[in-house]
Amino acid sequence: MEKSTLDILRILFCTPFLLYACYSDIKKRSVNNKVWLVMLAGSIFFISYEFSLYKQLILRPLIISVEFIFILAYFLFKIGAFGGADAKALMVMSLIIPTYPGFQALGYAFPLNKPIYDIFALSILGNAALLMVVVPIGLALYNLAETGLNFDNPAYIFIGHKTRISNLAGKHIRLIQGFEMTDSRVRSYFKWGGMEINEKTIRGLKDLSGKGLIEDKVWVTPELPFMIPITLGFFTAVFYGDMMFQLIRFLL
């Protein structure tokens, strides 16, 4: 089996799992671990088959891909940059497709713009991050349309929006505006990554609002299904290459 054929098979193998992960992330903001376990099992087949063809030649790029992505994904997960499912998706794909896949179709050689480095999952992450730029822009436009320039926290307009306390329950959002009592006054502060909104949180906010200590609207940030940009980043990397790398080259 030629390497290009094997690359196509690996891409086709990942596709249904990523699409299902997107669906699950939209519906529940979570993805069942069985998805990643099945993909992990599939990675054993691809690694074993490629090892039978190229022996030790595949080990170095595989180890580089896995170590780099596992450390980076774990770090981003720990600081709250994205969720566990997103980290697991990148980790598993670093095993299945450690280096850039290459194939020809319709008279073109894909990807169209392969970067100088050869860690495929890193390009997926870079593409996903670049695609997510539309989110803060969209939030800012939404906030401007809602309230014009009347913001109590202008820096928040790119990461969240204001919602009535009575409408907080049952939504995929997190509270980014925390409150604490200091000298009989309530001080507002920014909570990096947002706080989970539960019944206790809502009761506390309603109590403060009922006493006139805070407004009846608070700043929240949407829990975005990051599996969507990861999946789009995957297909972008397959057919185009690394958008982030090309952007940096253009700017430099």
Domain, as residue range, for 158: 134-222
One domain for residues 183 and 233: no
One domain for residues 79 and 63: yes
One domain for residues 107 and 171: no
One domain for residues 37 and 96: yes
Q: Which two tokens stand for residue 26?
A: 């939209």
Q: How far apart are CA 128 and CA 227, in angstroms?
A: 9
One domain for residues 230 and 163: no
- Predicted local distance difference test score (pLDDT) of residue 213: 87
One domain for residues 53 and 152: no
CATH number at residue 28: 1.20.120.1220
**Helix or strand or coil: residue 171?**
coil
% of the chain at pLDDT higher than 70: 100
One domain for residues 8 and 70: yes
Q: How far apart are CA 247 and CA 131, in angstroms?
A: 12
Of 252, 241, 184, nearest to 212 (Cα)?
Answer: 184
Low pLDDT (below 50) residues in the chain: none
pTM of the model: 0.85
One domain for residues 127 and 169: no
One domain for residues 39 and 82: yes
DSSP 94-149: HHHS-S---EEETTEEESSB--SS--HHHHHHHHHHHHTTHHHHHHHHHHHHHHTT
One domain for residues 247 and 183: no
- Predicted local distance difference test score (pLDDT) of residue 230: 96
Give, rounded to a whole angstrom, the gap between the first and last alpha carbons of the chain. Answer: 40
One domain for residues 92 and 159: no
- Predicted local distance difference test score (pLDDT) of residue 1: 67
One domain for residues 139 and 121: no
- Predicted local distance difference test score (pLDDT) of residue 191: 86
